[in-house]
Amino acid sequence: MRRERPALGILGGMGPLATADFYRRLVERTPAGSDQGHLPVLMWADPAVPDRTAALLGEGPSPVPALVEGARWLRRAGASCVAVPCNTAHAYVEQLAKAAGVEVLDMIEAALEAAAGKVPGVQRVGILATRGTRLAGLYERAGARLGVEVIQVPDRVQLEYVDAAIRAVKGGADLAGPERWIAEAAGNLRGQGAQVVVAACTEIPLVSGAAAGVLPLVDSTEALVDAVLSRLWRADPFDQASS
């Protein structure tokens, strides 16, 4: 008899590499003793979802209809809750959850809580994110709830380093340059008094190795994995079954 277990829905494709990275990390971090101990996962990964930052800047169509379509499919397929491995898409999460009738885990708050845990007593958290995430004030609002000040890089650094690095990762470029750029951006945040930096775009953790040597670094993808495991995973006495 098949045992009913809570299933995770992944609303992905934003971008494809970031979604694959999230699922890989979820599998690696799940403390299962066999294939059978891992979470059932349903994935809707549609790279045709309109660009979230362009929509927030008024330069492109809304991604909401495509996001709602995916979330409704995940709910109908049996997802208990949904993870969206895209920080900028969280500008639409409340609207998405209401329209699709499904719980959506909060990646933004999870990342800031992880930052507070990484540096006890932290007061100033630097953010490396898309212009859309910045414009929506996602981390600023979560920071106000948690009592921490959120610091962003200046517009020049955003354009020359952060935006350029995100484009390079999405475009499949060599990652050596983007890694240097993200480290430069982290150095700017350190100069502004940040005590920890959040890689607040799911492309950035893929090029954040050098930045982690500049400031303690919180990976928003890892934070979302932690939120999933906290919400859904529980030890299964039968997960040692033969694969």
- Kindly list the catalytic residues: 86, 201
Q: Are 129 and 205 in contact (CB under 8 A)?
A: no
Whose structure tokens read 């590499």? 17
| Cα–Cα nearest to 202, from 158, 169, 164 | 169
Nearest to 110 by CA among 235, 196, 218, 18: 218
Instruction: Judge contact between 12 and 19, C-beta under 8 A.
Output: yes
Calpha distance 163→129 (Å, rounded): 8
CA atoms 60, 167, 96, 137: torsion sign: negative
Give the number of C-alpha atoms closer than 13 A to the C-alpha of residue 210, restricted to the C-beta side. 14
Complete DSSP assignment for 137-157: THHHHHHHHHT-EEEE--HHH
**Count of alpha carbons within 13 angstroms of residue 195, beta-carbon side:** 14
